């Protein structure tokens, strides 16, 4: 999960900081169009209402998408949404947007007070706390039948439309990577798996190390898997241990050096 | 905030534009809620608020729209200006650069808004007079030469904020009244014109946001 979270940050940053002005404007407008056409399937009533009032998607979704809902939802919901987003990718952002639109403008009853463009915008700015509530929102997002494929297909359609009306894109973005799995598969080799790095590295040579402890550790590493995760190994993360058990090809010399240094730092602090 | 069944004679949409950090959002909050936020965050997308005031004998509901000044959030443009009958072009009197680019903001405004839009140049942050970089006379002259209203304000200490909005709303109101007299059309006609694209050389009173009851 730590890894998923880490790589998940890239789309967020890429979206908000990635390219400069023109391409960002294009990206957000394009996503707005994609969101809007998906809304057609999710909630025809809301779609019709927004079309009728000529409310451009960028008027309400810019902040949603650029801040990944952090300025919109209560914090507990933001955390849940981000968790899903980092793991499953951008479809979560689209789905959250669609759920909010559906439950705000999705029935004629709800539209009674949205007579004009301004009233509708106001409604979208002051969303009902009920629909933003963590449990409700997450359930709705999970159940919403909007897949990556649909988003990709809609992306291509909107891209084509964009080229017809605006000409070529200023900035060609690489294909969207849907979620942590796709991201890690797209860049497999050069990136090492995330692993804890000891913050203090003591050169192994001259430092005196209690002998008994060192040998105890070595013997533990040779044993079956279980002790590595035992209470002894956990405290300071014992970075070497788990990894080495999984990758026995690592040279024994290197092994002992790493576990030594981590032990060292533990000693320093204790 | 205003609900749909409020009683008013006119709705005027007024947009705030200008460089990032000149105080657009605080002008909005000062006028509509009498609030000022010292560490307000940068606007992303749009914000808006309304306030209903009396202009002469008419009840006018002012819808003030506020958007990001940062270049990279400028995708909003045409959707943002649609239906606006007034615009405040805001600069910071302590930062000459924000005044230098007023020209660019005016160009964007006239590219996207109706030609009849009432525009006011606003020099904000007069509470920081000791750090002033834009002389009032200079800005006033620029405004006169370009047919803009002009005022200096401080959203922080409230100076002239009411006056700024009241002046522009009054000006819009007079324009609407004049139009109404010129074209002897009734209120119902102005109401009927719901489609912005059909009002090519637009008259303020025929704008969809400008509803006469």
Point out the least confidently predicted range of A244-248, B159-163, B177-181: A244-248
pLDDT digits (tens, 9 = 90+) for A96-148: 999 999 999 999 988 998 988 899 999 999 999 999 999 999 999 999 999 99
Report the share of chain B in percent with pLDDT over 70: 80
Give residue B91's domain range. Answer: 10-181
Query: Does A62 contact B at CB distance below 8 Å?
Result: yes
A266 versus B86: the higher-pLDDT residue is B86
Closest of B62, B72, B81, B70 to residue B15, by C-alpha: B81
Here the CATH number for the domain that contains residue B160 is: 3.40.50.300
- Asked whether residue A201 carries a pLDDT value surpassing 90, the answer given is no
CB count in 10 Å sphere of residue A201:
12
Q: What confidence category does residue B147 fall into, taking pLDDT thresholds of 50, 70 and 90? A: very high
Tokens 């933001």 sit on residue = A78
Predicted local confidence at residue A211, as pLDDT: 54
Structural domain includes residue B4: no
pLDDT of residue A235: 42
In this prediction the pTM is 0.72
Q: Is residue B172 part of a domain?
A: yes
Residue A67 has pLDDT above 50, yes or no: yes
Contact B47 A125 (CB under 8 A): yes
**E strand or H helix at B59:** strand B58-67
pLDDT category at A21 given cuts 50, 70, 90 is very low
The pLDDT value given to residue A237: 42
CA separation for the pair A9, A15 (Å, rounded): 10
Torsion of CA A139, A141, A145, A151, to 10 degrees: -170
Distance from CA of A19 to the nearest CA of B (A): 10
Band (pLDDT 50/70/90 cuts) for residue B185 is low
Residue pLDDT, tens place only, B93-110: 999 999 999 999 999 999
Kindly indicate the confidence band of residue A192, based on its pLDDT and cuts at 50, 70 and 90. Answer: low
Q: Choose between A44 and A197: higher pLDDT.
A: A44
- B210 within a domain of the structure (yes/no): no
Measured in angstroms, the CA of B22 and the nearest CA of chain A are apart by 20
CB contact under 8 A, A117 and B79: no
Domain A43-186 -> CATH class: mainly alpha
Distance to chain A for B127, nearest Cα, Å: 30
Max mean pLDDT among A166-170, A189-193, B129-133, B205-209 falls in: B129-133
Domain total of chain B: 1
Q: Does B96 touch chain A (CB under 8 A)?
A: no
Asked if the model's pLDDT at residue B201 lies above 80, the reply is: no
- With beta carbons less than 8 A apart as the criterion, state whether A241 and A259 touch: yes
Q: Are B90 and B56 in contact (CB under 8 A)?
A: no
Kindly indicate the confidence band of residue A42, based on its pLDDT and cuts at 50, 70 and 90.
very high
CB contact under 8 A, B45 and A58: yes
Least confident of A56-70, A79-93, B19-33, B75-89: B75-89
For A64, other C-beta atoms within 10 Å of its C-beta total: 26
pLDDT digits over A158-190, tens only?
Answer: 989 988 888 777 666 667 778 788 877 777 666
pLDDT confidence tier of residue A243, bands split at 50, 70 and 90: very low
Residue scoring higher pLDDT (A214 or A142) = A142
Sheet holding B10-18, edge to edge: B46-55, B58-67, B10-18, B86-92, B118-124, B149-152
> Does B193 reach chain A within 8 Å, measured CB to CB?
no
- Read off the tokens for A196: 């804890």
* 8 A C-beta contact, residue B120 and residue B140: no
Q: Is residue B205 part of a domain?
A: no
Question: Is the minimum CB–CB distance between A71 and chain B shorter than 8 Å?
Answer: yes
Domain extent listing, chain A = 43-186
Q: Has residue B5 been placed in a domain?
A: no
Cα separation, A58 vs B26, whole angstroms: 22
């Amino acid at each position: 999960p730590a890894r998923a979270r880490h790589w998940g940050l890239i789309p967020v940053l890429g979206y908000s900081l990635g390219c400069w002005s023109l391409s960002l404007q294009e990206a957000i407008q394009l996503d707005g169009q994609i969101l809007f056409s998906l809304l057609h399937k999710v909630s025809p009533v809301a779609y019709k209402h927004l079309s009728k009032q000529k409310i451009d998607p960028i008027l309400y979704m810019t902040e949603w998408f650029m801040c990944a809902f952090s300025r919109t939802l209560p914090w507990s919901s933001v955390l849940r949404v981000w968790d899903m987003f980092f793991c499953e990718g951008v479809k979560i952002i689209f789905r959250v947007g669609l759920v909010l639109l559906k439950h705000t403008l999705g029935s004629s009853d709800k539209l009674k007070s949205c007579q004009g463009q301004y009233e509708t915008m106001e409604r979208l700015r002051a969303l009902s706390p009920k629909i933003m509530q963590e449990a409700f929102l997450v359930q709705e997002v999970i159940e919403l039948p909007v897949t990556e494929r649909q988003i990709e297909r809609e992306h291509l359609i909107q891209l084509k439309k964009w080229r017809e009306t605006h000409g070529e894109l200023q900035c060609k973005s690489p294909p969207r990577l849907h979620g942590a799995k796709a991201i890690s598969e797209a860049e497999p080799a050069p990136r090492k798996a995330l692993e804890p790095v000891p913050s203090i590295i003591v050169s192994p040579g001259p430092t005196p190390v209690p002998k008994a402890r060192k040998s105890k550790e070595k013997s533990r590493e040779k044993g079956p898997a279980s002790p590595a995760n035992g209470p002894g190994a956990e405290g300071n993360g014992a970075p070497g241990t788990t990894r080495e058990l999984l990758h026995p090809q690592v040279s024994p010399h290197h092994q002992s050096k790493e576990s030594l240094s981590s032990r060292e730092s533990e000693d320093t602090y204790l | 905030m205003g609900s749909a069944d409020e009683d008013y004679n006119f709705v005027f949409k007024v947009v705030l534009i200008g460089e990032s950090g000149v105080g657009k959002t605080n002008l909005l909050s000062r006028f509509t809620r009498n609030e000022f936020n010292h560490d307000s965050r940068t606007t992303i997308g749009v914000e808006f608020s309304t306030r209903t005031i009396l202009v002469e004998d008419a009840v006018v509901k002012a819808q003030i729209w506020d958007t990001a000044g940062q270049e990279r959030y400028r995708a909003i443009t045409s959707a943002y200006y649609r239906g606006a009958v007034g615009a405040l072009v805001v600069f910071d009197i302590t930062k000459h650069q924000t005044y230098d680019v007023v020209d660019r903001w005016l160009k964007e405004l006239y590219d996207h808004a109706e030609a009849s839009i009432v525009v006011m140049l606003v020099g904000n942050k007069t509470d920081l007079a000791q750090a002033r970089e834009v002389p009032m006379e200079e800005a006033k002259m620029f405004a006169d030469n370009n047919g803009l209203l002009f005022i200096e304000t401080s959203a922080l200490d409230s100076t002239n904020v009411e006056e700024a909005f009241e002046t522009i709303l009054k000006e819009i109101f007079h324009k609407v009244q004049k139009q109404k007299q010129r074209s002897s059309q009734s209120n119902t006609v102005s109401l009927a014109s719901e489609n912005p694209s059909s009002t090519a050389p637009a008259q303020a009173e025929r704008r969809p946001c400008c509803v006469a009851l």
